């Protein structure tokens, strides 16, 4: 992997065919009072929805990928008043859903390290750090909850998680983003605890990679799939960004696995066994290559073309399975691709997500839950703020 520049010092990402396993079985229900959101983030009246200026036509035209990340090349008009208002309402709604123990989840799943990590990342995407910013307390309490679920083996998971490597990947990503940008903060005991947790978590990922080069539901190197693998690759990239040692062989084997999962149409199958392409896991496959340090490559070009032809915002049913999961990774893939890929995709997905936000500020996800859908939508919508190092090329 190449080192990434930390451009801002303010702040330092389930399954495609089996989403009900992503967050594990429900833990014991946690009480869910609704604390008042911070006074500095008042509710904002619902703005007039913005409309994408017909992005589909551009994608039907001959296309040349510039291979230039959007990090230093923002598209014109990325941020709008409607976007600012929507994210403000979404963050305020999400803050009210945090449990007293710092966790996030829905009645179906209970407390979940995966959903907690994603919710915290959505606050960090707005510039909040543990103890700093309007939602700094929310991030700090989420951090404590995730640390409380770190085991001596390195696995980060609740007691009843059925597919713990999903949660482990998202939670490790969250911890490494915090660690890389804060070192754990001024509390020496918590900083030491965070440091030890990320070291153990990264070692567990490296030690549970299977012979094919990927990862699966449990921390046992038996088999692998693209969906779990991207979670671990993003966690390892964040760890590398934060200065932690990540074995080069682990990344090289992961790249080989992802490459072998691509079909002739440019999309990605679920595992190495023959199977159809699907746009959500194809987005994850492309993102996996980018986060592994592969930036200019014929397989990435084929994958981006597949996404443009099969998953352009406006062409995908919002009620389809893995909608938020797919756009979470697709937006990252297009952002890292940059150029017309990003500018056209961003205009479309921004309009689509702003148009589907509920009046109360949340996004509905019938599969995993509204907290999950809201966190994912907020992460996508706040990518142009460029706070999170994980999105850097």
> 58: which residues sit within 8 A by CB, 6+ positions away?
340, 344
Residues 124, 296: Cα–Cα separation, whole Å: 29
Average pLDDT over residues 186-203: 94
pLDDT tens digits for 284-318?
999 999 999 999 999 999 999 999 999 999 889 88
How many beta carbons lie within 10 A of that of residue 236, not counting itself? 28
Residue 14 has pLDDT above 80, yes or no: no
Residue 22 has pLDDT above 50, yes or no: no
Q: For position 5, what pLDDT does the model report?
A: 35
> Which residues make beta-bridge pairs with 129?
132
Q: For position 278, what pLDDT does the model report?
A: 97
Residue 47 has pLDDT above 50, yes or no: no
**Residue 45's pLDDT band (boundaries 50, 70, 90)?**
very low
- Catalogue all structural domains in the chain, each as residue range(s) with its CATH number: 60-391 (1.50.10.20)
Residues 306, 331: Cα–Cα separation, whole Å: 14
Q: For position 393, what pLDDT does the model report?
A: 65
Residue 151 has pLDDT above 50, yes or no: yes
Average pLDDT over residues 63-80: 74
What rounded mean pLDDT belongs to the chain? 85
Which has the higher per-residue pLDDT, 324 or 105? 324
Average pLDDT over residues 209-232: 97
Residue 345 has pLDDT above 90, yes or no: yes
């Amino acid at each position: 992997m190449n080192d990434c520049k930390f451009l801002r010092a303010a702040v330092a990402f389930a399954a495609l065919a089996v989403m009900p396993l992503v967050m594990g079985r429900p833990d014991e229900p946690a009480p869910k009072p609704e604390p008042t959101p911070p006074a500095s983030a008042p509710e904002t009246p619902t703005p007039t929805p913005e409309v994408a200026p017909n992005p589909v036509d551009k994608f039907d035209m001959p296309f040349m990928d510039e291979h230039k990340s959007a990090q230093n090349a923002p598209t014109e008009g990325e941020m709008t008043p409607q976007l600012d208002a929507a994210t403000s309402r979404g963050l305020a709604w999400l803050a009210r859903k945090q449990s007293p123990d710092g966790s996030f989840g829905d009645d179906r799943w209970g407390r979940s390290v995966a959903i907690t990590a994603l919710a915290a990342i959505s606050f960090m995407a707005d510039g909040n750090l543990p103890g700093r910013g309007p939602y700094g307390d929310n991030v700090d309490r989420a951090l404590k909850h995730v640390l409380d679920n770190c085991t001596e083996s390195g696995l980060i998971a609740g007691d009843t998680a059925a597919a713990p490597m999903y949660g482990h990947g998202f939670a490790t990503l969250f911890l490494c983003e915090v660690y890389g940008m804060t070192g754990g903060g001024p509390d020496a005991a918590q900083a030491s605890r965070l440091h030890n947790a990320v070291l153990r978590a990264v070692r567990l990922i490296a030690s549970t990679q299977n012979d094919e080069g990927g990862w699966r539901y449990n921390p046992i190197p038996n088999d692998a799939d693209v969906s779990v693998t991207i979670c671990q690759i993003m966690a390892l990239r964040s760890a590398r960004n934060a200065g932690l040692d990540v074995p080069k062989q682990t990344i090289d084997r992961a790249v080989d696995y992802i490459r072998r999962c691509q079909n002739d149409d440019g999309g990605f199958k679920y595992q190495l066994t023959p199977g159809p392409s699907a746009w959500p896991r194809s987005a994850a496959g492309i993102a996996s290559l980018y986060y592994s340090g592969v930036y200019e490559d014929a397989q990435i070009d084929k994958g981006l073309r597949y996404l443009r032809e099969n998953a352009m915002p406006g062409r995908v049913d919002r009620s389809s399975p893995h909608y938020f999961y797919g756009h979470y990774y697709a937006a990252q893939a297009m952002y890292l691709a940059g150029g017309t890929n990003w500018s056209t995709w961003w205009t479309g997905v921004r309009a689509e997500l702003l148009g589907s936000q509920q009046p109360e500020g949340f996004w509905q996800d019938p599969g995993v839950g509204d907290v999950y859908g809201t966190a994912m939508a907020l992460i996508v919508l706040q990518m142009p703020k460029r706070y999170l190092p994980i999105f850097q090329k």
